[in-house]
Structures are given as C-alpha cells and as structure tokens.
Amino acid sequence: MAINYDEIMSMTSENVEISYTDKDSILYGLGVGFGHDPMNTDELKYVYENSQIALPSMATNFQYHSPLLLKAKINFIMVVHGEQKLSITNPLPVSGEFISNAKVIGCYDKGSGKGAIIDIETTINLKKDNTEICKLVSTTFARGDGGFGGPESPKKELVKIEGNPDLVHEIKTKPDQALIFRLSGDYNPLHSDPSFAKAAGFEKPILHGMCTYGVACRSIIESICEKDVRRLKRFDCRFSSPVYPGETIITEMWKNGNIVHFQSKVKERDKIVIKNGESEVI
C-alpha cells in the first residue's frame, strides 16, 4: 500500500517517558567497541561504573522509544538509515528519566522505483525540570515506497573536502558487533538474520548505521575533542554504504575553526560509508 502523505506528515509521539540506567550506558559503550582493551582507562570509563561517562552518540537510542514509522505503510524490508543529525544542548547523563517528543517533519517522493525520504525530529528533555538535553533528526530511506505523489526531495549541498585530512583515526569492529549493538534497542533482523539480510539485498547481516555513527563519534571525541565528551555540540552525517561486522572503520577529519568535516570508510574495501559529515566542537 502506498504512503499517504497527509497521514504520515501528521504523525507525532508526544510526552513519552523514557528512562535508562548506567548498565544501559555500559551496554551502548560495548556496542560501539569500547573495552576491547580492558587496560585502556580512557575506554574503560564508558563501560565501567566507576567515574562513568556517556558517549554523546548514545542519544540516538532515544529514537527507538518513539518508533513513528512502525505506524506507516512502508516496506520495512527495504528500509535503511539515510542520515542522522544530533544537536547537544546539555551533556548526556549516564542514567536518568526523560521526556521525548517526536514528529515527522518531512516526507519526500523520489519517484516510482526510487524510494521515499522520511525525516523525523525528536526532542529530549529531563523529566525532573524540563531541561533540554538534545535534539535529533533521523532520515529514513524507504527504498520500496516511491511514487506516492509527494513533494520532491530538496537538493542538499554536499560538503566539499579538499586536501589531505588533518586527522585520521582507525577503529576495528568485531564480528559480533551488530549482535551486541542491537541490545541497545534496534532489533531489525537486517543486522542479525542472514536470510533476512539476503532478502534485503545484502550478502550477510550489516552493522547498524547507528553503530557506525557511534564509532565515527568515538573518533571525533578521541581525536578532535581530546577525549572530552563535553566539547561536542553537533554531530551530523549521511550514510552512503553499509559496514559489515569485523571491518575496520577509518574516519578522516578536516578542521575549519569550530567545525569539523569528516568522512568514514572501511579499510578492507576502501569504501566510503559515511559522507557529508559535519560536527561542531567547542
């Protein structure tokens, strides 16, 4: 059944109460590969409750609690994550109670056989005093749902990267990375079921886009922010190709004042997997 434009644009999820504990933060840390070296104290603080901190990209977990698209009439086998934006107002706690408000802010028709683009904005506030923590915009590419008569997707300017990167950071994922990361909330069988992955056009289960996003965030924090998570204020990117668990993600960074442009690629296939990356660091 085709997308109903008016129906999908009216979708909201209001005042959803969300809570998580320090154990959930530890699980996310393990899911993006922290703790591979248990003697590395810089990594240990993400996966050990003593002086624990949270990686800013863990804020994307909030989106799993307001799954607006589950109500939409789209082909979920053909759905992939297109883009992710994160604006950080206040540091992400390692535990707490929150209020989530989400809404569809865009739905664009790329044409029959070319898919549809759906943008969802989620705002997160602390439950106790309504302090804003962050705002997220997630872009979904529904590859099997174009041709419903909606507006055309607006053209977006790609970041022009010139010259050699100022910094390069490399992180190797583990073969079981997707099986760990899915426990943070994204149970799409595309990341765990070989038969489902093949039906979706992949040779085997792929790594979650949000895991790749978290790995790239690690590289920015460790390289640009000098391991201080409080310095990252914005982290945006476009997903261009999947990562297979076990591959090595190389993130290249170009500094321009407080703005850092970045892209990520897999070392084994020399394939760009994140492009148009832009982060803001203070």
Contact 42, 106 (CB under 8 A): no
Residue 103 identity (one-letter amino acid): K
Q: So what's the pLDDT on residue 106?
A: 95
| Residues recognised as catalytic | 186, 191, 206, 209
Q: Which residues of the chain have pLDDT under 70?
A: 1
> Distances in Å between the alpha carbon of 272 and those of 62, 141, 182, 239, 265?
27, 18, 23, 9, 4
DSSP assigned state of 42? H
Contact 82, 238 (CB under 8 A): yes
Q: So what's the pLDDT on residue 157?
A: 74
Q: So what's the pLDDT on residue 167?
A: 98
User: pLDDT tens, 195-227?
Assistant: 999 998 899 999 999 999 999 999 999 999 999
Pairing of strands 271-281, 259-266: antiparallel
Q: So what's the pLDDT on residue 234?
A: 98
Short-list 277, 267, 85, 82, CA closest to 173:
267
For the domain 5-281, what is the CATH superfamily, name and number? Hotdog Thioesterase (3.10.129.10)
The length of the chain in residues reads 282
Q: So what's the pLDDT on residue 1?
A: 54
Query: What three-state secondary structure class fits 255?
Result: strand
Domain boundaries of the chain, sorted by first residue: 5-281
> Distances in Å between the alpha carbon of 22 and those of 94, 170, 180, 243, 267?
5, 27, 16, 28, 33
pTM: 0.92
Q: So what's the pLDDT on residue 68?
A: 77
In the chain, % of residues over pLDDT 90:
81
